[in-house]
Chain A
């Protein structure tokens, strides 16, 4: 079991290197589709296997600390197992959707190559046990995503990709500066070893924390670092939008933030407040910007900012409660944050896939030109309706439960006004998605919709899988709540640091 852990990084990496070779063969596109499905199915199976596994610390190449060497380690705790499963789920669904959707583009093998490089980067970030590998894998995922945003090579795609690239690189440089300061202060790169040798809070460490905060906030597109997201996410092909909004901003931004701030650097009162403020501001400004949008994918992108605000808010509240030793509220807030992270990945991917399906069939994504989709594309429009109800927090869909948990945790933590704000943002989200349903799903078919046909089977299958999870995840939460509460516990108990320490790091 322990020896197959590196496969989670090696399988997508291997596939990414094989795929460009297929470009030269006439049967290349068909072979690359087969390889893509096999790879993502294998990743799904592996990550499900690890979801129930015990915690693992794996030292690459047998360079354990016992042998006196500074080795690279991969760490799997409950939080990373949960994130791995989430990445594998969205990857599988996006691959299924791409099978038909990407036929309209040239160079399909290259598309899948970049796609799996991005997955490699994300899995690497999740498993990385030292801060420099985290940075390297973060860059692998980020560079692949920059080129995927520009994949269409239209003028808008190029412009969006350039903007994303500049801001993403600035974020990476800040993370690198943070790493440099932390290395200067501790002489360590391993996250657990840094946590062990961390000196008393001083000016240099505060500066490192500030650099990390700016870098990861740029990657997670928190307001005021959000400018690239509404351009970059809509410009990518639909399955890539689903990947970017669904998991990339979470893994590169939120997960890395949690690893650095909760497990490595000491959480302080100021940073808890900064996280709460970032979350609340993103939540409110994101939703207000979203309400006025008429481009479907752009509207969804603004909602991503807003919904990630919920997650950051929950983590901020958890950090504050951890400092005051109120572990019950902290674990509730973390549970809410992780559950909302999962739910957002599911329903936002579904919404982007639906927007892709609508664009595939009708050729437009402007709300005013769509309309009456339910008469022509029943599967897409019912999936869209389910996702819209989920994101706006209508019971019994999954979005409702996670928002409810976050609201309860915020109020228990004593932030009544934050709880009220969360409810208000949820209401605004509902308003915005009523507009979406009114213009896209209901009404008489518009000119561009009247000749539309339902999308091919694989695209429908991808959407239906996510729609079923949207309905089931909320109601069946008691069955698998353990996954989320284990993840929350592993953050609270700094399991990650413990694990490496036990392994002698």
Chain B
């Protein structure tokens, strides 16, 4: 275990915490929070793949040649991916919250052990 793998491990722990909340919590809102944590864990992991120690922001200024830029900046691709992934996460969470509100209107509870008309 060296210092460079530690952040990846931490990202995985965040994912595990999110999964724990999704699997074990009985409250709809806590499940939604779990999904958000899970999403952030994945984003963090993706972000770390582009990390470089003492790297610059990936903006190429006029007085910077291409080789210099490649050797000093962090990888911009994961950042573009995370932007997309955050938007997708936003859509999912918005839909999930809307569903939770409608479920509360129907069942008058957020407890999933009381929301079980479907089984078999």
B85 near A176: Cβ-Cβ < 8 Å: yes
Report the interface size for chain A: residues with CB under 8 A from the other chain: 39
B24 at the interface (CB under 8 A from A): no
A132 near B120: Cβ-Cβ < 8 Å: no
Residues from chain A with Cβ under 8 Å of B81 in the complex: 132, 179, 183
A183 near B49: Cβ-Cβ < 8 Å: yes
B96 at the interface (CB under 8 A from A): yes
A:178-235 near B, CB below 8 Å: 179-181, 183-184, 189, 230-231, 235
Task: Say how far A160's CB is from chain B's closest CB, in angstroms.
Answer: 6
Residues from chain B with Cβ under 8 Å of A261 in the complex: none
- 0 or 1 for each of B84-120: is its CB under 8 Å from A? (1 = yes): 1100100110011001101100110000000111101
A166 near B42: Cβ-Cβ < 8 Å: no
A158 near B49: Cβ-Cβ < 8 Å: no
B88 near A162: Cβ-Cβ < 8 Å: no
User: Smallest CB-CB separation from B84: which chain A residue?
Assistant: A136
B49 near A173: Cβ-Cβ < 8 Å: no
A293-B95 contact, Cβ under 8 Å, with A136-B84, A155-B107, A166-B22: no
Task: Say how far A161's CB is from chain B's closest CB, in angstroms.
Answer: 6
B74 at the interface (CB under 8 A from A): no
In the complex, A169→B22 CA distance in Å?
11
A176 near B28: Cβ-Cβ < 8 Å: no
B92 near A177: Cβ-Cβ < 8 Å: no
Contact of A162 among B18, B46, B96 (CB under 8 A): B96
Task: Say how far B105's CB is from chain A's closest CB, in angstroms.
Answer: 9
B91 near A143: Cβ-Cβ < 8 Å: yes
In the complex, A177→B91 CA distance in Å?
19
In the complex, A286→B84 CA distance in Å?
36
A165 near B84: Cβ-Cβ < 8 Å: no
B45 near A180: Cβ-Cβ < 8 Å: yes
Number of inter-chain CB pairs below 8 Å: 94
Contact of B118 among A159, A169, A176, A293 (CB under 8 A): A159
In the complex, A150→B98 CA distance in Å?
11
B88 near A136: Cβ-Cβ < 8 Å: yes
- A147, A161, A166 pick with most chain B CB within 10 angstroms: A166
Report the interface size for chain B: residues with CB under 8 A from the other chain: 35
Main secondary structure of the interface of B (DSSP, over half): helix
B17 at the interface (CB under 8 A from A): no
A156 near B117: Cβ-Cβ < 8 Å: yes
Contact of A180 among B22, B46, B103 (CB under 8 A): B46
In the complex, A179→B45 CA distance in Å?
10
Residues from chain B with Cβ under 8 Å of A184 in the complex: 49
B118 near A143: Cβ-Cβ < 8 Å: no
Task: Say how far B89's CB is from chain A's closest CB, in angstroms.
Answer: 8
- 0 or 1 for each of B12-50: is its CB under 8 Å from A? (1 = yes): 000100110010000010010001001101100110010
A170 at the interface (CB under 8 A from B): yes
Task: Say how far B113's CB is from chain A's closest CB, in angstroms.
Answer: 12
B57 at the interface (CB under 8 A from A): no
A146 at the interface (CB under 8 A from B): yes
Task: Say how far B84's CB is from chain A's closest CB, in angstroms.
Answer: 6
A298 at the interface (CB under 8 A from B): yes
Contact of A155 among B45, B106, B120 (CB under 8 A): B106
| Chain B residues close to A by CB (< 8 Å) | 15, 18-19, 22, 28, 31, 35, 38-39, 41-42, 45-46, 49, 77-78, 81, 84-85, 88, 91-92, 95-96, 99-100, 102-103, 106-107, 115-118, 120
- Other A-B pairs beyond A159-B103, A293-B120, 7, CB < 8 Å: A132-B81, A159-B117, A165-B95, A170-B22, A173-B18, A173-B42, A183-B77
Report 13 cross-chain contacts, Cβ distance below 8 Å, ordered by A residue. Answer: A139-B91, A146-B95, A155-B103, A159-B117, A162-B28, A162-B99, A172-B88, A173-B39, A180-B42, A181-B49, A189-B77, A230-B120, A298-B120
